[in-house]
Amino acid sequence: MAAAVEMTSTFSADSINGRRAPDALVFSIEDYAGYLQLRAFIRPYAAPLNRQERRMAKMKAAIFVGPGRIVLDDKPIPDVGPLDALMRITTTTICGTDVHILKGEYPVAKGLTIGHEPVGVIEKLGSAVKGYAEGQRVIAGAITPSGWSNACLCGTGSQDGAGTPHGWKPMGGWKFGNTIDGCQADYVLVPDAMANLAPVPDGLTDEQVLMCPDIMSTGFGALATR
């Protein structure tokens, strides 16, 4: 029997088409990677919030609860630190790595929001972030290094070891959906925003830049280290 994804919510692809979904939905892995496109069920629900709403509101997120189970449920909208940016997700997608996580083939903590390919709009900027504006369309890389560790200063941000004695950590730059909450949600908190955001040029659609946070950057990274 295929492992299942239990969506404990009325929030589903069916509801986008005007039909009320059941309170709980179970999808096979194939459904998760195909029929249940995350862009379809995230985009219509994330709306700008004022300060009071942001403090009180929760968001929907795809949460790993154990091998074979990802639950769509509520989480608090993250607080924004001085160097962070809160990004409202408008489009995202599913990576093969997410399916490995679902199957239990790659270990992550229970309760983690998965996903590492965000396209969206800056909802809130940290007080120390310069060069970006709230309401601006942006992407954030799947690899989100600190920008200041020894690994980053040597040009290998994927091995970012910020906070370690020597400044290196294997795969330390991959944080979204691995060591911190990822972007298959209404909102994602982007750490070290000035190092990890990139503006989306006017005239380009979400779909046209969706491959940039992970697949395209991975390819360029592979070429650069040949």
Q: Please report, rounded to a whole number, the percentage of residues in the chain having pLDDT higher than 90.
A: 61
Per the CB < 8 A criterion, the answer to whether 175 and 109 are in contact is no
Per-domain residue ranges of the chain: 4-141+176-224
Residue 156 has pLDDT above 70, yes or no: yes
Question: Other CB atoms closer than 10 Å to residue 13's CB: what's the count?
Answer: 18
Domain 4-141+176-224 = CATH 1.10.3720.10: no
Residue 169 has pLDDT above 80, yes or no: yes
Residue 150: phi and psi, rounded to 5, are: -55, -40
| Model pTM score | 0.76
Per-residue confidence (pLDDT) for residue 172, from 0 to 100 = 84
DSSP string, the chain: ---EEEE-SS-SHHHHTT-PPPSSEEEEHHHHHTTS-HHHHHTTT-----HHHHHH-EEEEEEEEETTEEEEEEEEPPP--TT-EEEEEEE----HHHHHHHHTSS---TTPBP----EEEEEEE-TT--S--TT-EEEE-SB---S-SHHHHTT-GGGB-TTSSSSB-TTTTB-BTTTB--SSBSEEEESSHHHHEEEPPTT--HHHHTTIIIIIHHHHHHHHT-
pLDDT digits (tens, 9 = 90+) for 188-209: 999 999 999 999 999 999 999 9
Residue of higher predicted confidence among 91 and 19:
91
Average pLDDT over residues 21-38: 43
Residue of higher predicted confidence among 1 and 68:
68
Residue 3 has pLDDT above 90, yes or no: no
